[in-house]
Amino acid sequence: MKGFFKWQGWVISLLVLVLLAGGCTPPPPDAGSSGKQKLVYASTADVVGLSPIKTNDRASARALDQIYETLFTRDPKTMEIQPLLAESYEQKDPNTLEITLKKGIKFHDGTPFNAEAVKYTFDKFRDPKTAAPRASLLEPIDEVIVKDEFTVVLKTKKPYGPLLAALAHSNASIVSPTADKKGNLMKKPVGTGPFKFKKWVPGDKLILEANEDYREGAPKLKEVEFRVVPEVSTAISLLETGEVDLVDSLQPEHLDRLKNNQKVNVKTNDGTPVTYLGFNMKKGPGKDKTFRQAVAHSINQEEVVDALKGVAHSSKGIIGPKVFGYNKEIEKEGYDYDVKKAQKLLKEAGMDDKTMTITTANTGNYPTLAELVQGQLSKAGLKTKIQTLEFGAYLDRLRKGDFEMVIGGWTNSTGDGSELLYPQLHSDNIGASNGTQTSIPKADELIDQTRTTTDKEKRLKVLHEANQLLVKEAPWVPLHHGVIVIATSKNVQGLEVDPTGEWHLQNVSLK
């Protein structure tokens, strides 16, 4: 027996030495369960699909931004447009943009990225049979021509100023023609980006893995999990316990809790979204400019910003500071908070003893904003009721123009003022995205100029003129401009978020 115990002890000792020598200690929590660099993002919604052509939701876009790439991108700090898959470009004439593509790039399936891939993607995107949700992005393109293997020419129906901004939008990402023809990109995506598709369990998680052949070097993260966590409060708890590494779309009530947590980093960045109080410009009191001016003077924007505790910044412009087309002179021209002037104008409009309804959606900060606005209007003598609707019913009301005043918003995902003013405030889009039913001929004329002028300086000038006119006409009263807020675990390094809320994981690592 003594010999047996000696032999057993010798074996155990040897095993311990082998384990220690091999470094087989448990991996630190930050490195993921497999010991790899794995980041977990808590998404409040599952992806709808994985094709940039056929999706238009935020959850899908977060994943697509890692898998696919666009011809152009925005610098997250300056918001200047830069080539990405493109090498260079030249505006040959007002209707012709020639793009030289980078060479030596391959899709995840090993097929080459070239001009034919660009043509295939854009032609499918624009084909009415595809029914792409964001087809309007490339609607101005009349023809896509392959000049040679690495040169593509875009012919527009007429000069189109925001074309580069449209080409930088994630929905304009280039797909593998071979993969699209063979399979279903909605379920098995194939792009050129730093991460490749690995696995998708609908309603649970999407897993991406590093593209080891990425042209700028393999990402430091080896795996990314998009975990579906429907409740933000649950996602925050998981972040605090170290089970997830990244949470976004945070609300004011979450910030104090997270800022006091030593294990969490909170990043904020003034953003492109704008939130407003809008009027029905087609019927009712909203048609009266005097009434709209009275309401504009009733709104205390600074009080709104303070109430949102770090997720809002102020500007009197409809085009805000982080959107192309902004000019700081607009801050001198908006309506000042002036209760006495508001009271006087309400009397002139015959609205000092009337009651109006504010329609809002039951999402995000909208209900809070409706209550704030209600309180501010009451000080000026305007009584209001709040009508809170489920989001789908709310959108339906906007499309039909079935409201008096409304809390609304626009994310400005292209970062270009034309792509704010045209869909939201041009008469072409009444009954669609122009919820306030705004039809101002001079504004339409200026907005058209911002789209048909390709000269950058001229576009800036005309966008400012349009911003000035719309602020004075007041179909919207800006309540605040958004602040992008995300929270990460302390070990997340190298994450940058641009003012549209877009983020990329190519240069991210876990410490």
Q: pTM of the full predicted structure?
A: 0.84
pLDDT value at residue 432: 87
pLDDT value at residue 1: 42
**Cα-flanking dihedrals φ and ψ of residue 31, to 5°?**
-90, 0
Q: Sign of the C-alpha dihedral, residues 346, 348, 352, 353? A: negative
Rounded distance between C-alpha atoms, residue 84 and residue 100, angstroms: 11
pLDDT value at residue 486: 94
pLDDT value at residue 476: 98
Degrees, nearest 5: CA angle 463-465-466: 65
CB 315 within 8 A of CB 331: yes
- For residue 17, give the H/E element and its range: helix 2-21
Residues (pLDDT < 70) of the chain are 1-36
DSSP assigned state of 284: S
Rounded distance between C-alpha atoms, residue 213 and residue 242, angstroms: 30
- What residues does each domain of the chain span? 58-182, 186-269+485-510, 271-483
Rounded distance between C-alpha atoms, residue 466 and residue 480, angstroms: 19
Q: Phi-psi category of 494—alpha, beta or left, where left has phi over 0 and alpha has psi -120 to 50?
A: left
Buried residues in 398-417 as b, exposed as e (16+ CB within 10 A): beebebbbbbbbbebbbbbb
pLDDT value at residue 273: 95
Closest by CA position to 92, among listed 167, 140, 154, 163: 154
pLDDT value at residue 77: 87
CATH superfamily of domain region 58-182? Dipeptide-binding Protein; Domain 1 (3.90.76.10)
- For residue 492, give the H/E element and its range: strand 492-493
CB 195 within 8 A of CB 67: yes
Does the domain spanning 271-483 belong to CATH 3.10.105.10?
A: yes
CB 201 within 8 A of CB 360: no
CATH superfamily of domain region 186-269+485-510? Periplasmic binding protein-like II (3.40.190.10)
The per-residue pLDDT for range 299-357, each reduced to its tens digit, is 999 999 999 988 999 999 999 999 999 999 999 999 999 999 999 999 999 998 899 99
